[in-house]
């Protein structure tokens, strides 16, 4: 398990769920060295995003490829050596082996039997009895609540602001062709694993060069074409913002996990349309102030399809941030249903 920095240990994992005979089940792992049952999780690796870390850890400890759903409560605790640890969790489902997003993932080795010697599906009641640490029930209860309210089964709708581009003042040609910088290209490649973690199958974008270049590495990795919308360009948005709004409405209603790459000037219009799809029960908040997302920033909306149209169950954002070990794309803000479960008992033993 790889870690970064010498301060707080950052880790990620997932509660993989399924429904069998009408009953919710979750996947737990047994660690022989601690003789405990817990959720698959592990420390973030250098250069990983938190969602990448979660999907990798699930595979290494269970052998299952998953796509992440909505974020679950984050856990913070002190481990045996006195260091603080933060673990970010997501709901997750197993994937069909032919899903295109799997083409964008590296080949990971399974954890040794000394690390994890068993992975087992439990019903919710079984999990409540089996899970060793009381605090690990916090993300479970959030998962159960989402299932009860019909908000657990979601699809990812991702808005990505294009990666850093060459400055307008330094570009003498048509602005439509203005490219991303070397740093922007690096960020575009970092986004490949992030998009794959959320099982992105469809890629859509403004046809401007800087937007296309931001999602091109992922498109190449999964061997898919990029669908483009002129209404999402800066010039068309300035001329007719209602067309950009309508494009957002149409794409948000489409089935399947997708990413849409856009420009900063279009974000106020797009966020207004996204806000219309939120409800009082939506977990997390959409960005409220300009520029909404930094260059290369990503907003993931977890969408529930209802008879009244798409509704956003949860929102999270992922930015490029600095860590002590260097530049690592981590989640700047991962929001989930945490406040309702603060009354759970403290762990019975020290964590690891």
pLDDT at 6: 58
CATH 3.40.50.1240 residue window(s) in the chain = 155-319
pLDDT of residue 215: 98
Which pLDDT score is estimated for 321?
54
Q: Is 4 in a helix, a strand, or coil?
A: coil
pTM, whole model, 2 decimals? 0.90
Q: What pLDDT, on the 0 to 100 scale, is given for residue 7?
A: 82
What would the pLDDT profile of 201-245 be if each residue is shown by its tens digit?
Answer: 999 999 999 999 999 999 999 999 999 999 999 999 999 999 999
DSSP code for 327: E
Q: Cβ distance 303 to 282 under 8 Å? A: no
pLDDT means per 10 residues in the chain (352 residues)? 61 98 98 96 94 98 98 93 93 97 97 97 98 97 98 98 97 96 96 98 98 98 98 98 98 98 98 97 95 97 97 94 43 39 30 48
| pLDDT value of residue 130 | 97
Task: Kindly report, residue by residue over 148-160, the tens digit of the pLDDT.
Answer: 999 999 999 999 9
What confidence score (pLDDT) does residue 80 get? 82
- CATH 3.90.79.10 range(s) for the chain read 9-152
Q: 155-319: CATH homologous superfamily?
A: Phosphoglycerate mutase-like (3.40.50.1240)
Q: Which overall architecture, per CATH, does domain 9-152 show?
A: Alpha-Beta Complex (3.90)
pLDDT tens per residue across span 45-84: 998 999 999 999 999 999 999 999 999 999 999 988 888 9
Both tokens of 258, joined, read 């997708």
Element (H, E) at 156: strand 155-161
Geometric angle at alpha carbon 351, from 350 and 352, rounded to 5°:
130
CA quadruple 245, 258, 303, 126: dihedral, nearest 10: -170
CA distance 223 to 182: 23
């Amino acid at each position: 398990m790889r870690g970064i920095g010498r301060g707080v240990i950052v880790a990620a994992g997932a509660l993989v769920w399924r429904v069998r005979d009408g009953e919710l089940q979750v996947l737990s792992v047994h660690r022989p060295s601690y003789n405990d049952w817990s959720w698959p999780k592990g420390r973030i690796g250098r250069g990983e995003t938190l969602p990448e870390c979660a999907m990798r850890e699930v595979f290494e400890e269970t052998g299952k490829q998953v796509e992440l759903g909505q974020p679950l409560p984050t856990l913070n605790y002190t481990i045996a050596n006195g260091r603080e640890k933060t673990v970010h969790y997501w709901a997750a489902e197993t994937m069909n082996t032919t899903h295109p997003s799997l083409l964008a993932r590296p080949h990971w080795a399974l954890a040794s039997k000394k690390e994890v010697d068993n992975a087992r599906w439990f019903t919710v009641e079984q999990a409540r009895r089996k899970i060793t640490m009381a605090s690990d029930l916090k993300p479970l209860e959030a998962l159960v609540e989402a299932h009860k309210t019909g908000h657990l089964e979601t699809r990812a709708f991702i808005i990505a602001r294009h990666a850093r581009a060459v400055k307008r003042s330094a570009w003498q040609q048509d602005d439509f062709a203005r490219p991303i910088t070397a740093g922007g290209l690096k960020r575009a490649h970092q986004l490949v694993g992030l998009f794959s973690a959320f099982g992105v199958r469809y890629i859509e974008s403004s046809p401007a060069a800087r937007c296309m270049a931001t999602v091109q590495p992922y498109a190449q990795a999964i061997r898919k074409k990029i669908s483009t919308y002129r209404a999402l360009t800066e010039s068309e948005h300035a001329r007719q913002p209602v067309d950009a709004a309508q494009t957002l409405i149409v794409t948000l209603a489409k089935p399947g996990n997708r990413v849409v790459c856009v420009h900063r000037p279009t974000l106020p219009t797009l966020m207004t349309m996204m806000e219309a799809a939120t409800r009082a029960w939506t977990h997390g908040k959409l960005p409220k102030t300009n520029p909404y997302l930094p260059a290369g920033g990503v907003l993931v909306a977890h969408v529930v399809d209802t008879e009244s149209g798409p509704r956003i169950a949860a929102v999270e954002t992922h930015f490029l941030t600095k860590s002590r070990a260097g530049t690592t794309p981590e989640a700047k803000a991962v929001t989930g249903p945490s406040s309702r479960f603060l009354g759970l008992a403290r762990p019975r033993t020290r964590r690891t």
